[in-house]
């Protein structure tokens, strides 16, 4: 049974184990600092399909299959799949999973989806509803650009504050038994809207949500940065990272070198032309599965706070003058616990 700690956090007393995981990415991500770490890098932005939407779906399916393989689990033995993405009506997830015959929960947490799906999957296992769950998500630069911004052919200039949607996917297979890193806490975000309405500055829009979730997590658990070997936000980029750091310093937190943002890790922000850094559901998902989880397994970090961030807007809400609500969901991942 889960135990509630404070307003937003639950402690998992029989923490679900990460049995397997995989990350798939595109060419540009393959040329970045984590290029060697992905399970598969596609040189073809279409992933062999006829459209970018189908490519995104193909990538999710491939990532899901790799994660199941690495967990040594046939997909048919999964009890639930949680998935979601940025495309309208979350089609890349639904089409990727349509032939699995596994009970399916669609989620929408924008770029926070990796942490949302891990949160729900972990709670269903801890609650005795499932023994094996897959949590996955992804995003594709080309499908996101044409849905959210401009046709790629238009070649529009990007604002210095803008981020680059990651072509990438991450999938995690959680189980009730086995060896591996475990999810020990789930901190669920509340929606935060600081009034930012610049859709070319998502980092600023999401930083207050990350701040709210991290400080709630610390308040609920009595922990702080010193209790973690590393703390990651999802995709604030360089600008959002700096804003969050300022907000945390004002509160008296010493973030030190422990605080990192997945959007700054996946690209070389100085040379790859991504402006403020990476974004998209696939950003935190692929960094988790290509970089963070392997480092935990290697013993480089023992206890990590993974806080994925999302902007809950749409082009329509932006055009109608609405500001950008943000959300941040967090999970604690730890090795060496039983």
Report the distance separating Cα 48 and Cα 62, nearest Å: 12
Report the nearest approach of its own copies to the CB of residue 179 (Å): 23
Report the nearest approach of its own copies to the CB of residue 42 (Å): 19
Residue 327: which of 217, 211, 215, 184 has the closest Cα? Answer: 211
Which residue number, 79 or 235, has a Cβ lying nearer to its own copies?
A: 79
Report the nearest approach of its own copies to the CB of residue 20 (Å): 21
Which residue number, 41 or 171, has a Cβ lying nearer to its own copies?
A: 171
Report the nearest approach of its own copies to the CB of residue 216 (Å): 9
Judging by DSSP bridges, how do beta strands 17-25 and 168-175 pair with one another?
A: antiparallel
Contact positions toward its own copies, by CB under 8 A? 1-4, 7-8, 10, 50-51, 53-54, 79-80, 84, 86-91, 94-95, 97-110, 116, 119-120, 123-124, 126-130, 188-191, 193, 312-317, 320, 322, 325, 327
Report the nearest approach of its own copies to the CB of residue 60 (Å): 13
Which residue number, 89 or 246, has a Cβ lying nearer to its own copies?
A: 89
**Tokens linked to 243:** 């804003």
Which residue number, 91 or 337, has a Cβ lying nearer to its own copies?
A: 91
Which residue number, 186 or 293, has a Cβ lying nearer to its own copies?
A: 186
- Whether the Cβ atoms of residue 97 and residue 73 lie closer than 8 Å to each other: no
Which residue number, 97 or 296, has a Cβ lying nearer to its own copies?
A: 97
Which residue number, 183 or 312, has a Cβ lying nearer to its own copies?
A: 312
Report the nearest approach of its own copies to the CB of residue 92 (Å): 9
Which DSSP helix (H) or strand (E) runs through 92? Answer: helix 91-97
Report the distance separating Cα 324 and Cα 327, nearest Å: 10
> Burial level of 273, CB count in 10 A (0-12/13-18/19+)?
exposed
Which residue number, 131 or 272, has a Cβ lying nearer to its own copies?
A: 131
Cα-to-chain-centroid distance, residue 75: 22
- Per-residue DSSP letters for 135-193? EEEEE-HHHHHHHHS--GGG-----TT--EE--EEEEEEEESSSSS-EEEEEEPPPPB-
169-191 as b/e, with b when 16 or more CB fall inside 10 Å?
bbbbbbbbebebbbbbbbbbbee
DSSP, collapsed to helix, strand or coil, labels residue 21 as strand
- Whether the Cβ atoms of residue 333 and residue 18 lie closer than 8 Å to each other: yes
Report the nearest approach of its own copies to the CB of residue 220 (Å): 11
Report the nearest approach of its own copies to the CB of residue 1 (Å): 4
**Tokens linked to 99:** 């032939």
């Amino acid at each position: 049974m889960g135990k509630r700690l404070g307003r937003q956090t639950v402690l998992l007393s029989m923490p679900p184990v990460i049995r397997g995981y995989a990350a798939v990415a595109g060419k540009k991500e393959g040329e970045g600092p984590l290029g060697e770490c992905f399970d598969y890098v596609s040189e073809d932005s279409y992933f062999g399909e006829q459209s970018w939407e189908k490519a995104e779906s193909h990538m999710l399916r491939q990532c899901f299959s790799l994660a199941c393989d690495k967990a040594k689990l046939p997909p048919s033995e999964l009890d639930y799949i949680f998935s979601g993405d940025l495309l309208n009506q979350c089609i890349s997830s639904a089409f990727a999973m349509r032939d699995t015959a596994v009970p399916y929960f669609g989620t929408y947490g924008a770029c926070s989806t990796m942490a949302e799906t891990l949160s729900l999957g972990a709670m269903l296992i801890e609650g005795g509803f499932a023994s094996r769950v897959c949590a996955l998500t992804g995003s594709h630069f080309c499908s996101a650009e044409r849905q959210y911004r401009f046709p790629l052919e238009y070649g529009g200039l990007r604002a210095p504050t803008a981020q680059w949607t990651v072509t990438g996917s991450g999938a995690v297979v959680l189980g009730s038994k086995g060896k591996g890193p475990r999810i020990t806490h789930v901190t669920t975000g509340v929606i935060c809207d600081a009034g930012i309405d610049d859709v070319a500055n998502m980092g600023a829009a999401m930083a207050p949500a990350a701040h709210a979730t991290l400080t709630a997590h610390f308040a609920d658990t009595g922990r702080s940065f010193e209790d973690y070997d590393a703390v990651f936000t999802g995709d604030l980029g360089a600008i959002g990272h700096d804003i969050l750091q300022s907000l945390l310093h004002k509160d008296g937190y010493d973030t030190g070198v422990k605080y990192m943002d997945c959007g700054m890790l996946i690209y070389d922000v100085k040379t790859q032309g991504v402006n403020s850094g990476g974004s998209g559901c696939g950003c935190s998902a692929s960094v988790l599965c290509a970089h963070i989880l392997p480092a935990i397994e290697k013993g480089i970090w023992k206890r990590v706070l993974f806080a994925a961030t999302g902007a809950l807007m749409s082009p329509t809400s932006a055009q109608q003058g609405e500001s950008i609500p943000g959300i941040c969901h967090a999970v604690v991942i730890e090795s060496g616990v039983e």
